[in-house]
Structure 1
Amino acid sequence: MGIYDKLFNIQQQLNAPKNQRNNFGNYNYRSCEDILEAVKPLLRENKCVLKLSDEIIYTEGRYHVKATATLTDVETGEKEWATGLAREEESKKGMDGSQITGASSSYARKYALNGLFCIDDNKDSDSTNTHGKEGKSSTTNLSAAQIRRLYTLANNAGYDKAKIEQMISTKYKKDIKALTKVEYDHVCNGLEGKK
C-alpha cells in the first residue's frame, strides 16, 4: 500500500468534530489540536508520520506564516504535503509579538491540515465569521496587489489567468475583484497547497 492509499484511508476515517466554542461569535469550530488528536490513531494504524513546520515569509508588505503539513509513509518513505498561509496582524490587543506569530502559526497549520486531510471548513463559522465587521473588510473589493498575488499563485499552481477566473466564477458566482477577504484567503490557501 502506497502513500495515496494510506492518505485515502486516513481521509475517509478522520472525524474531527467542532468541539470548541466561540461565545463571542456564537459558533463552534475545530482547532489545529483537535485535528491532531483525531488523526493520531489513524497515523499509527496506517504506519505514517505527520510533521508540521512553519516558515515566515514577507510578501506584499506583510509577514505571513506559511505552514506545511507533511505525511510520510514509514514503510516506503513516500511523502505528500499541503500548505496553509496566515497573515500576521501588525498588532492585536493583549498580545505580544510572539503570541501573534503563534496564533498565525496555529491558523496556518489548521488550514494545511484541512488541505491534506480534505477537511472542508467552508461551512465553518471560523472561516466565515466577521465578528460584526460585515460592512468593512469582508466585502471590500480586492486591491490590485492582492489580485496580482492571486494570479501569481495560480500561475505557480499551473493555472492560466482564464482558467483561474473561470474556476472562481464557477465556485463563487462572481468576478475575482468582487471576492471577499475570506474567499480570497481561501482561494490563495488552496493555490498555495497546489505548488
Structure 2
Amino acid sequence: MAEKKTVGIQTKLLMVQADLKAPKNQFNKFGNYHYRNCEDILEAAKPLLQSVGANLRLTDDVVQIGERFYIKATAVFTDIESGETIENSALARESAQKKGMDESQITGATSSYARKYALNGLFCIDDVKDADHDGGAQKPPQGPQKVSKDMINTINAELKRTNIATGIILETYKVKKLADLTIEQFKNFMGRMEKTPDYMPPKEDIPDPKE
C-alpha cells in the first residue's frame, strides 16, 4: 500500500493564512473605529486548523524590561502529523493604572492585547485601521492569492511521486506555469493527490538484478 504523502508545516500555515477571515466587527465608540479582538481571530482560525491537521496554543509570560513589566504572549502553531511547530511572540506593557479596572483586569486586558498581536504575526493579519476610520479611502481590489515557492515544491514532489506530467496539471487548471496556480487550485490539487497512489513502473521496465 502506497505511503500517504503529507503536507509540510510551512504549507499548512500558509493555507490557514490564506483562508483566515477575521473581519473587524468590534467598534470603538470613543475612537470611532472598527477593530478585531483576540477572540475574533481564534473563532475564525479553529475550523481552518482542523482542516489542515494543526492546533494552536497560546501562552503568557511576565517579563521585566527596565522598571516596567510586560506580558509576553506566544502563539504556537503545531503540525499534528509531524509534531513540528512555528511560533510568534508579542509584548504588551501593563498600564500603571486604568480607570474602572483592578490589577487582575489590567493584566487580563494586556494579555488579550499581546495575544492578539502574536496571532496577527503568526497568521499575517494586517491590523491597520479600516477605511471608515481613514477618511473613507477605498482599498484596491485584490485578485486570488497565488501559490508560494514551498507550494510549488510540494506540487513538483507530488508529480514526481505519481509520474504525472506537469503539462497535464497546467491544462487541467488552465494556467501557463505552476506559479500561476491559486491557493484554491493548490488545495484542489492536493485533494486529488491524496487519492492518487505512487507510480509503479511496469515489470518489464524494472531491470533484473541478475543481469
Q: Counterparts of 2:80 and 2:25 in 1: how far apart (Å)?
A: 30
Which residue of the other structure, out of 7, 19, 30, is the alignment partner of 1:13? Answer: 19
1:62 paired with 2:68, answer yes
Conservation of the 8 A alpha-carbon contact between 2:26 and 2:35: yes
1:45 paired with 2:33, answer no
Q: Counterparts of 1:94 and 1:20 in 2: how far apart (Å)?
A: 20
Deviations 1:72-113 (A, max 9, x none): 000000000000110000111111110000000000000000
Between the two proteins, what is the percent identity of the paired residues? 60
**Paired AA for residue 118 in structure 1:** C
TM-score, length-scaled by structure 2: 0.58
5+ residue gaps, structure 1: 129-195
* Secondary structure of residue in 2 paired with 1:93: coil
Q: Counterparts of 2:54 and 2:76 in 1: how far apart (Å)?
A: 10
Query: After the TM superposition, which residues 173-188 of structure 1 pair with which residues of structure 2 at under 5 Å, given as runs?
Result: none
How many residue pairs align between the two structures? 126
* Secondary structure of residue in 2 paired with 1:35: helix
Query: After the TM superposition, which residues 37-116 of structure 1 pair with which residues of structure 2 at under 5 Å, given as runs?
Result: 37-116=43-122
* Larger Rg, first or second structure (1 or 2): 2
Q: CA RMSD in A?
A: 1.4
The CA deviation at 1:124 is 5.3
Conservation of the 8 A alpha-carbon contact between 2:35 and 2:129: no
Conservation of the 8 A alpha-carbon contact between 1:14 and 1:42: yes
Q: Counterparts of 1:26 and 1:93 in 2: how far apart (Å)?
A: 20
5+ residue gaps, structure 2: 1-6, 135-211
